[in-house]
Amino acid sequence: MPDWLIAIVLGLIEGLTEFIPVSSTGHLLLVGHFLGFNSTGNTFEVLIQLGAILAIISVYFTRLWSLLITAPKDPASRRFIAAIIIGVVPAVIIGVAAHDFIKTVLYESPTLICTTLIIGGIILLALDRMKFQPRYTDVTQFSLKTALIIGLCQAVALIPGVSRSGATIVGGLLLKCDKRSAAEFSFFLAMPTMAGAFAYDLYKNLDQLSLDDAGLIGLGFIAAFVSAVFVVRGVLNFVTRHGFTPFAIWRIVVGAAGLVLLAIFPAR
């Protein structure tokens, strides 16, 4: 398969999986591994996230703009913005401190990715079947403490295969947020977190990028943007109706299939 087609496929995977709890990075690295696609420092997999970032910003632009213009006079808006900032901080600190280890060690272990996909799927499946009275049903009402704990959960997703949205959703469910608000807070955390990861990875690898890389990243970006728009617009209603069980089962199936394929076709 030519690299340009692989770039489009990976872009579609990024957009379709970034905002659901199945680990977009895990899927990208596994598919890239089995297709024999390698980018310098795994930069492609991070930089095409710009398409997904712009997709969610475009869908949520009205709400984001409302937050910004009401913040000077509305304490509730300021508190929600503070909650988002607090939720992002743990991933930023750990991500910067452990960046090289994550990219050169964890990203290079497809077995780890498959294992974390399965473990995360089992946890998500168990939590989705639990019955509890939610404490929060409105994402703007999360306490700062709740936001911090969810942010710590998000930091765990620096391990590929865990899933950023999956970790934040699990954290939200454990803190008795209802399914819809847990998923939506994951969206709000995604925007600054992914933008920061994109900017930092671009800074770290700018001297290693070439015009050929830019072309492939551009194709992946467009595919990620288009597919992510459709996902963001529909996933909250899907979660409200069906919960997280379909995603949990998908994680377990993909992780198990990946382990089987790795046993048959071990890394060279």
Residue owning tokens 């199945």: 22
pLDDT at position 66? 94
Amino acid in position 9:
V
CA atoms within 13 A on the CB side of 43: 21
pLDDT at position 76? 93
Share the mean pLDDT of the chain. 90
Angle between helices 179-205 and 144-156 (to 10 degrees): 50
User: Using an 8 Å Cβ cutoff, are 192 and 92 in contact?
Assistant: no
pLDDT at position 267? 60
pLDDT at position 38? 73
For the chain, which residues score pLDDT lower than 50?
none
What six digits make up the tokens of 29?
Answer: 């690295």
Q: How far apart, in whole angstroms, are the C-alpha atoms of residue 147 and residue 175?
A: 10
Q: How many domains does the chain have?
A: 1
Q: How far apart, in whole angstroms, are the C-alpha atoms of residue 206 and residue 194?
A: 17
Whether the model clears a pTM of 0.85, i.e. scores above it, the answer is yes
pLDDT at position 259? 95
| Burial class (CB within 10 angstroms; exposed 0-12, middle 13-18, buried 19+) of 266 | exposed
Q: How far apart, in whole angstroms, are the C-alpha atoms of residue 99 and residue 56?
A: 25
pLDDT at position 88? 96
Secondary structure of residue 136 in the 3-state scheme: strand
Domain span at residue 226? 3-264
CA angle 207/196/247 to nearest 5° reads: 115
Q: How far apart, in whole angstroms, are the C-alpha atoms of residue 45 and residue 220?
A: 9
| Burial class (CB within 10 angstroms; exposed 0-12, middle 13-18, buried 19+) of 263 | exposed
